[in-house]
Amino acid sequence: MNQLKKIGNWLDDRCGYTENILPLIKHLAPPRAKWTYVFGSATLFCLILQVVTGVALSLLYQPSSSLAFQSLNFITNEAAFGKVLRGIHFYGASGMVLMVGIHMIRVYIYAAYKFPREMSWVSGVILLLLTIGMGFTGQLLRWDSNGVWSSVVAAEQMGRMPFIGKYVARLLLGGDTIGGHTLSRFYSYHVFVLPAMIFVFVGLHLYLVFRNGISEPPKAGRQVDPKTYRAWYQNMLKEKGVPFWPDAAWRDTLFGALVIIAIVALAILIGPPALNAPPNPAFIHTTPAPDWYMIPFFSLFALMPPAIESWVIFLAPPLIVLLMLALPFLSNKGERSPVKRPWAVFGVICVVIFMTCLLVIGYKAPWSPVFEAKPLPLSAIRGNTADSLMQKGTHLFYMKGCEYCHQINGYGGFKGPNLTYIGNRLDLSLIKIRIVNGGPDMPSFGGTLSKDELDALAEFLSQQK
């Protein structure tokens, strides 16, 4: 035992643990920095989880356009613990995005970005962008037909940049088309480039915690004054501070552990997202959709007025990022308490509601044609169902794709108006005019339907009342 202690002392002397590392671990944290302060460290725990499971997955994954899909099938169905690993990496990504979001909201509501922690906020914004980049490139490495089309969709968004758009798109795809270089480039970004940047900025982000201290929970009326803040903060720590380890860190440890246990549980109970068709760009019967954290943006693309959309795609991201980076410079002193900053709280609530709505509507995707619509059953339609003209009209309503976008009695799509009671709103001649000419967001069917077909379809619709 004595020998071990000697070795320990020798190591400590040569490496300087007690001298240099221990003070960092035991640095004083403000009192009352309790459960609202655990989300940053939970993000870090998720990052570590992602690194570890990512390394494990890279033992099995083949990062080539031609083989990745087969190796994913192998990981999911044959490799030891492969399915659980994929699951943990997937839910770990979700957890990290979620924790980053909550952490950021907490920092904003507590105005912890004010003096002297402006650079913590700036590095945090960069880390948020890198996390989103990791999420996007990661879901793409799930190289099935969804992965292929996700990379095309991303390239199209880049294409909206003026002058250089075409080249950025080409750079992203690794060529003019999807091909041998596409996946290996995304793999390199996901596994080397972005993680290296994340390590740099996480290092800075953590260093700044030691440099400027953990922000104290705000109190209404206590103003941040850059001239006196540092002295006041040091004084407060001396009087009431608690050592970070173990007095504050036990909450981070407990919460982080619970988050990771929840992620592993989801991975075991629900499992990773299923792979769909092979990554063949010539296979087009697929409905590309991103993972949940990208769905709000996906919804926005469907709901924006088309006239401004291209401009929004190219202008909004840089403007939003600029605004976020500018925040601590626009307001770096004064009140920190959310009680005294009601508009900040209101803004956060609005953004959260907005994003949640876009997420929910994104899963319903009412703007998309319902390709799998089934012919209307007799029970769903009104009018004289024995009439042959009616029967023909009912059939045409399904055959000509009307049902992809219009509902009757719960059958069909949501893109156009519900036609269950259309007979009450339009008479026979108006229905015909609408079908032939189309509308602001409806194709004209004048060139597609014969006169008989038009009569039958209009007759059927006019009886729906």
Residues paired with residue 29 on neighbouring β-strands, in sequence order: 242
Residue of 309, 96, 93, 47 whose CA lies nearest to 203 = 47
Positions in 432-451 near another protein (CB under 8 A)? 438, 441-444, 447-448
**Selected range binding another protein among 96-104, 154-162, 232-240, 258-266, rule: CB under 8 A:** 154-162
Q: Which is nearer to another protein, 199 or 371 (CB)?
A: 371
Q: Is 314 in the site for another protein (CB under 8 A)?
A: yes
How many beta carbons lie within 10 A of that of residue 104, not counting itself?
Answer: 21
Out of 280, 384, 385, 424, the only residue in the binding site for another protein (CB under 8 A) is 280
Least distance to another protein from the beta carbon of 167, Å?
6
Q: Which is nearer to another protein, 101 or 273 (CB)?
A: 273
Least distance to another protein from the beta carbon of 465, Å?
25
**Selected range binding another protein among 28-36, 85-93, 147-155, 385-393, rule: CB under 8 A:** 147-155
**Selected range binding another protein among 241-249, 287-295, 316-324, 326-334, rule: CB under 8 A:** 287-295
Q: Which is nearer to another protein, 229 or 404 (CB)?
A: 404
Q: Is 368 in the site for another protein (CB under 8 A)?
A: yes
Give the distance from CA 269 to its chain's centroid: 22
Count of residues in the chain = 465
Q: Is 378 in the site for another protein (CB under 8 A)?
A: no
- Tell me the per-residue interface mask from 30 to 49 with another protein, x by CB under 8 A, - otherwise: --------------------
Positions in 47-76 near another protein (CB under 8 A)? 64-67
Positions in 166-195 near another protein (CB under 8 A)? 166-167, 169-171, 173-183
Q: Is 331 in the site for another protein (CB under 8 A)?
A: no
Q: Are 397 and 408 in contact (CB under 8 A)?
A: yes
Least distance to another protein from the beta carbon of 135, Å?
18
Least distance to another protein from the beta carbon of 146, Å?
11
Q: Which is nearer to another protein, 309 or 455 (CB)?
A: 309
Out of 101, 243, 273, 281, the only residue in the binding site for another protein (CB under 8 A) is 281
Out of 52, 119, 129, 153, the only residue in the binding site for another protein (CB under 8 A) is 153
- Tell me the per-residue interface mask from 389 to 428 with another protein, x by CB under 8 A, - otherwise: ----------xxx--xx---------x-------------
Residues paired with residue 28 on neighbouring β-strands, in sequence order: 243
Distant-in-sequence, close-in-space partners of 272: CB < 8 Å, separation ≥ 6: 76, 83, 86, 87, 89, 90
Q: Are 130 and 273 in contact (CB under 8 A)?
A: no
